[in-house]
Amino acid sequence: MEFKDYYQIMGVKRDVTQDEIKRAYRKLARKYHPDVSKEPEAEVRFKEVGEAYEVLKDPEKRAAYDQLGADWKGGQDFRPPPGWDQGFEFHGGGYTGADAAGFSDFFESLFGQGFAPGAQARGGFHARGEDTHARVMIDLEDAYHGATRTLTLKHTELGADGRPQLRERTLNVRIPTGVRQHQHIRLARQGGAGIGKGEPGDLYLEVEFRPHPFYHVEGRDVFLDLPVAPWEAALGATVQAPTPTGSVDLKIPAGSSGGRKLRLKGRGIPGKPPGDLYVVLQIALPTAESEAARAAWRELEKTLKFNPRARLGV
């Protein structure tokens, strides 16, 4: 996937004001509008400009995009790093009114998972504040046990010079037992401020799990790749296996092969019903770095006369 340099597409510097971005967009939109433009590839350029403006016109999206850094160049191979937008507080929906159907995979990877905007309750001079959304990362163990975590959220405000400025606020958030990947935690009245006597909106926190060295998660099910020795797989054994709630004694059936899944019922993420923990066996081979080890492998070769490619007819 190619990185999109939205500032380069708009022909502006990274420190321009929001008003300058708006003026640049109007100029380019007139230049490349497919109905009137004679420029080569006008329709393609018009879509690129629209995508860039969709991000840079929105102070929250712009601040999150800027966090990716200024070292990226247009066209470079790009994958969003895990948690790249953690803690950014977005107002309303993911898209902000544009037709995003023609936007690039790059845009989709960063801003494609939109949220439903909060409803505005208006009456007279009073209005309910906007709902806001932020993505936060927690440890998998928090989903098992529940926790209270102190989270720092970032939002943007326009400064006197018209440029977006980052501000932070800190919240103590209770992580409920059994929370799932991409589930939303609602914090009532912690969103945007109301107008007049209007109450504040709500804050929705979308949960993501930090990458774990042992486990990966699918829904409520948790998967563990467990290394086992060849003789443990061949002869059967009882081995120690880690789980998010502590180690367990796991029975390896004799004749197990690499990739075999052993199910530990109910040991996934808690819930009604709870998920399961799947242990996926991975055959770990001893090294042959010493002469004694090489002799042992040669003896095994002579004794077993094993051809792993026999089923291929070779």
The pLDDT, as a whole number, for residue 100 is 58
pLDDT average, residue stretch 152-171: 79
- Within 8 A by CB and 6+ apart from 170, the residues are 150, 151, 152, 153
CA distances from 310 to 285, 301, 306 (A): 20, 15, 9
Looking at residues 103-123, what average pLDDT do you find?
59
Average pLDDT over residues 171-183: 93
Between 77 and 242, residue with greater pLDDT:
242
Taking 50 as the threshold, does the pLDDT of residue 121 lie above it? no
| Residue 39 pLDDT > 80 | yes
Among 1.10.287.110, 3.40.50.2000, 2.60.40.420, 3.40.50.720, what is the CATH number of 1-71? 1.10.287.110
Question: What share of the chain in percent tops pLDDT 90?
Answer: 49
CATH of 215-312, one of 2.60.120.10, 2.60.260.20, 3.40.50.11610, 1.20.1270.30: 2.60.260.20
- In terms of C-beta distances under 8 Å and separation of at least 24 residues, what long-range contacts does 193-196 make, across chains too? 193/129, 194/126, 194/127, 194/128, 194/129, 195/125, 195/126, 195/127, 195/129, 196/124, 196/125, 196/126, 196/127
Is 1-71's fold the same as 128-209's?
no
CA 242 remoteness from chain centre = 25
Structural domain boundaries of the chain? 1-71, 128-209, 215-312
Does the pLDDT of residue 107 top 70, yes or no? yes
Cis upstream peptide for 273 (omega within 30°): yes
In CATH terms, the fold of domain 128-209 is HSP40/DNAj peptide-binding domain (2.60.260)
Cβ(88)–Cβ(63) below 8 Å:
yes
- Are 243 and 298 contacting, i.e. CB atoms less than 8 angstroms apart? no
